[in-house]
Chain A
Amino acid sequence: MDRNVDISLTVNGEKITSRVEARTNLVDFLRYEVGLTGSHVGCEHGVCGACTLRVDGRIVRGCLMAAAQADGADVWTIEGVTETGEIRALQEAFVERNALQCGFCTPGMLLTLAELMERKPDASRDQIREYISGNFCRCTGYQAIVDAVEIARKKGASA
């Protein structure tokens, strides 16, 4: 049986063709094959959210999706959305509010919160917390992160 799979996908807007081992998950593929190390690998069983990626417009766990399944997909990582400037207001608010310490959870947090701001722009603080319930931060706690969303939203509204 062939344990390797040919894939062709778009990563941060760039076409990529590769041959991957079937068992390679998407986040490992991006880190080791594509060299995009912004997405982190934490628990490897879908609990911590550090590996959050955007696939075909929606956030997913990078550790719970095989790279082989991403054939034909449109994948965005923290590097991509940083470069396009899409989440700049949120990133600036994270800095302003000290919403990170070690930074390990931050890429996943940002991608999750970017989806929240798009899909639930009027989310209350409770709803923001609920949305990031699948993203663990072990340093700062979540208060400053929720604050950062509110700051970014205000700036977005006045921009």
Chain B
Amino acid sequence: MKPAPYGYARAATLDDVFALLAEHGEDAKILAGGQSLMATLNMRLSEPEILIDINRIDGLSGIEDTGDAIRIGAMTRHVDIEESGVIATHAPLIAAAMAHIAHPAIRNRGTFGGSIAFADPAAELPACAVALDAVMHVTGKGGTRDVPAAQFFQGLYETAIGAGEILTAVSVPKISAGWKSGFMELARRHGDYAIIGLCAHVQFDGRQFGDARLVFLNAGDRPVSAPRTAALLNGQGWSEELSEKISASLKDELDPPDDLNADGPMRKHLAGVLVKRTLSPMAEA
């Protein structure tokens, strides 16, 4: 369909954005890559009064090594993250997730910050951010505040970004020595939204697991961590017995929704399948 009529303002600076947000409030939407927003508008699921285009603001994109972390500008396109050696080295979880984000034409345009700020529970990057303890840099007229990923996602499409603020960058801690990352999702067609997906970020001592983070996408109204199940890994090597234990634990710990693609029990079952498929090769490598 065609979208309802809307106004369009091209912001040249962050101050332009804050002024426009102050003027239009909730009737305004921020236009980053537009790969979710434009589809939503075309389907008339949303009818904002004005789009504030932030594509021309200098300094909002880029991948920067800041010592302990990698700082990713909100407007960095998926394709640039996909092709980044810095990301592959220091944030292999994100590198592994990129290929699952839609299709090449969408990754050419879609942005890292847009995906995080949109907070679709079925999207890959919010779950990666939670698994990696990323820090969101949220900027308003008064300055920038840092929000830990665990507190950033507050519900279906809801985040800690307040009125008059936008997400300007995300800092992702570099992977530590001895840790490995794995990403896997199950979708009916490559690039479609996952039925369920897993970010695994795990410490190893030889072939034994140490600390572990298991975060699922499309298993609730936001990225869903499974800390009780992850704790079962500590001090263990991979075995069929452990796999069974994890599957059983996930059935208890997760409460995924029903939708057209799968019901809750099927998602719970698939969560166990994902952990097995992700962790067993990691443990053997």
Which A residues form the contact surface with B (CB < 8 A)?
1-3, 5, 21-23, 25, 28, 44-46, 49, 52, 58-61, 63-66, 68-69, 71, 112, 115-116, 130-131, 133-135
Contacts and interface: CB of A to CB of B under 8 A. Distances in A.
B173 interface: no
Interface stretch (B99-107, B233-241, B252-260): B99-107
A59 B7 CA distance: 26
Given A45-B39, A59-B105, A61-B105, A66 B1 contact: no
Determine chain B's interface SS by DSSP, over half rule.
loop
A128 to B, nearest CB: 12
A85 B55 CA distance: 32
A153 to B, nearest CB: 18
Interface string B5-34: 111101000000000000000000001001
A65 B106 contact: no
Contact of A134 (B4, B8, B104): B104
A3 B5 CA distance: 7
B58 to A, nearest CB: 15
A3 B51 CA distance: 10
Given A1-B50, A45-B42, A46-B39, A61 B109 contact: yes
A63 B38 contact: yes
Contacts of B3: 23
Nearest to B1: A44
Given A3-B6, A21-B5, A23-B5, A131 B38 contact: no
B146 interface: no
A52 B5 contact: no
B42 A134 contact: no
Interface in B47-65: 49-51, 53, 55
Contacts of A60: 105, 108-109
Nearest to A119: B104
Contact of A69 (B5, B49, B55, B105): B55
Contacts, number: 95
Given A22-B7, A60-B108, A49 B103 contact: yes
Q: Which of A22, A131, A135 has the most CB of B within 10 A?
A: A22
A1 B39 contact: no
18 contacts: A3-B7, A21-B5, A22-B6, A44-B1, A45-B42, A49-B103, A58-B108, A59-B104, A60-B109, A64-B106, A64-B109, A65-B38, A68-B10, A69-B34, A69-B55, A112-B105, A130-B190, A133-B189
Given A22-B8, A52-B105, A134-B106, A66 B191 contact: no
Interface of B: 1-8, 10, 31, 34-35, 38-39, 41-43, 49-51, 53, 55, 79, 99, 102-106, 108-109, 189-191
A36 B104 CA distance: 23
A3 B8 contact: yes
A25 B38 contact: yes
Nearest to B83: A119
Given A45-B42, A45-B43, A68-B8, A1 B190 contact: no
Contacts of A23: 2-6, 41
Contacts of A59: 104-105, 108
Contact of A65 (B6, B34, B190): B34
B109 A131 contact: no
B79 A58 contact: yes
Given A22-B7, A22-B51, A64-B35, A133 B79 contact: no
Q: Which of A25, A46, A49, A112 has the most CB of B within 10 A?
A: A46
A63 B42 contact: yes
B1 to A, nearest CB: 6
B38 A46 contact: yes
Nearest to A51: B105
Contacts of B42: 25, 44-45, 63-64
Contacts of B41: 23
Contacts of A115: 104
